[in-house]
Amino acid sequence: MASSAILCITLALINSICISLAFDTRPLLDICVTDPTGIGKCKDPKFVTANDFSMTGLDRPRPFNSYGVAPVFASAATIPGFNTMGQTFIRVEFAPNGFLPPHTHPRASEIIYVLEGTMEVGFVTSYPDYKYYSKVLNKGDVTIIPFGLIHTVRNVARGKSVITASFNSQNPGFIFVPDSVFAAKPAINSTYLAGAFKLYEKTVKDLQTKMWFI
């Protein structure tokens, strides 16, 4: 507690931007609507309107990407009033057979709610257990993904499925495992990856040429 207070004061002396961007909880102000004229600045409350805190059309159909996924973000990136609130919300449509590759959010736990369809959602605990907890969720079901754990999300309905998810971070972070490993720039040494994944090096090199999750 004391050390985080010191950190805040130190950062405040260096640059108040650090506080608004680097911390999720315990905001110093009621609101800090992102000022489009300066990164990290709060908009003068005189110019703040109700529209700064909301967004419309989250349910508007969007094109599916190559994984059969169409996400929409309601976050500080898309809604200026979300800044410093420590939360991110998404709505995601999945085409039949659509899925998210195994991924983690290093800075957030995630609550997933199924609006429509049927989704299989699971997460893997850390070393040395690697226990995989997975479940098929139907419309109206909710689940949680613990902080930072690798998880799997896929549509197992015959048709499309729709979920919403909320994260307890303004910037949960997205680490897609296949991308991080095989699409790193510059590439991770393929001899090393072949050893790590017990694959032929040519398989690794092939994987390294693929297009991954965008």
Nearest approach, Cβ of 193 to ligand NAG (angstroms)?
9
Q: Which of residues 84-113 bind ligand NAG (CB under 6 A)?
A: none
**Distances 145 to 16, 47, 164 between C-alpha atoms, Å:** 32, 38, 13
Q: Are 20 and 32 in contact (CB under 8 A)?
A: yes
Q: How many CB atoms lie within 10 A of CB 66?
A: 10
Q: Are 156 and 136 in contact (CB under 8 A)?
A: yes
Q: How many CB atoms lie within 10 A of CB 75?
A: 20
Among positions 28, 191, 197, 203, the unique one binding ligand NAG when judged by CB under 6 A: 191
Among positions 12, 189, 196, 197, the unique one binding ligand NAG when judged by CB under 6 A: 189
- Tell me the residue nearest to ligand NAG as measured from the CB: 189
Nearest approach, Cβ of 187 to ligand NAG (angstroms)?
8
Looking at beta carbons only, is 97 or 191 nearer to ligand NAG?
A: 191
Q: Residues marked as binding for oxalate?
A: 105, 110
Q: Which residues bind ligand NAG (CB under 6 A)?
A: 189, 191-192
